[in-house]
Amino acid sequence: MGALVQTDQQVAVSGVEQDQNQYLTFMLGGEMFAIPILNIKEIIEYGHLTTVPMMPGFIRGVINLRGSVVPVVDLSARFGRESTGITRRTCIVIIEIHAEGELQDIGVVVDTVNEVLEIPAQEVEPAPSFGAVIRTDFIQGMGKINGKFVIILNVDHVLSLDEMTMLSQVGAAE
């Protein structure tokens, strides 16, 4: 009887480990990015955004998600690139981040969602110190998939509410 319980615990633990190695991959400006699946709440069709005055250019607006106001960030613009063009494959990925000791939902606009991939920990390299197309503190690691790299984002840095608030205040002052 004790062995059965122990086996169940091992399955649960390995399931958690497996989730920690799974990533949602998506395209943004022709490049593949990934976000740990544990941060993903849902994926919705792009539409019905309400613009908010005096926000920085990377804040597309807000959406009503089952009665909650969720800010929507254009990741491409957040990375200092051109805004994401809207196509029929454009999606909003709802991400759960830790902000000020609470969980906060933030939507991010992506060109297209690809798939959920499992990337073993030994296939993830640390962020490069130079030559990256985005700030290195935004990068959690570089995952290797079929000989190519995918940029694994550190969502708590990319979507830092403190930094985005500071940038919106700077934008309003200008």
What is the reported pLDDT for 49?
A: 92
Q: 3-class secondary structure for 33-77?
A: EEEEHHHEEEEEECCCCECCCCCCCCEEEEEEECCEEEEEEEHHH
What is the reported pLDDT for 78?
A: 86
3-class secondary structure, 97: strand
Element (H, E) at 14: helix 2-20
37 within 8 A of 23, measured Cβ to Cβ: yes
pLDDT of the chain, 174 residues: tens digit per residue: 433 333 333 333 344 445 568 999 999 988 999 999 999 999 999 988 999 888 888 899 999 999 999 999 999 988 888 888 899 999 999 999 887 778 889 999 999 999 999 999 888 888 776 655 566 678 888 998 888 889 999 888 888 766 666 555 544 444
**What sign for the dihedral angle of Cα 44, 52, 159, 39?**
negative
Q: How many Å apart are CA 90 and CA 112, to the nearest integer?
A: 5
> What is the arrangement of strands in the sheet containing 22-28, beginning at the earlier edge strand?
112-118, 22-28, 31-36, 148-153, 139-145, 124-125
Token output for 129: 């110190």
pTM above 0.85, yes or no: no
Q: How many Å apart are CA 75 and CA 111, to the nearest integer?
A: 10
Give the pLDDT confidence of 59-82 residue by residue, as tens digits: 999 999 999 999 999 999 888 888
Q: What are residue 80's phi and psi, to 5 degrees?
A: 85, 15
Q: What is the CATH number of domain 21-173?
A: 2.40.50.180
What is the reported pLDDT for 74?
A: 92
* Cα distance between the two ends of the chain: 69
Q: How many Å apart are CA 137 and CA 135, to the nearest integer?
A: 6
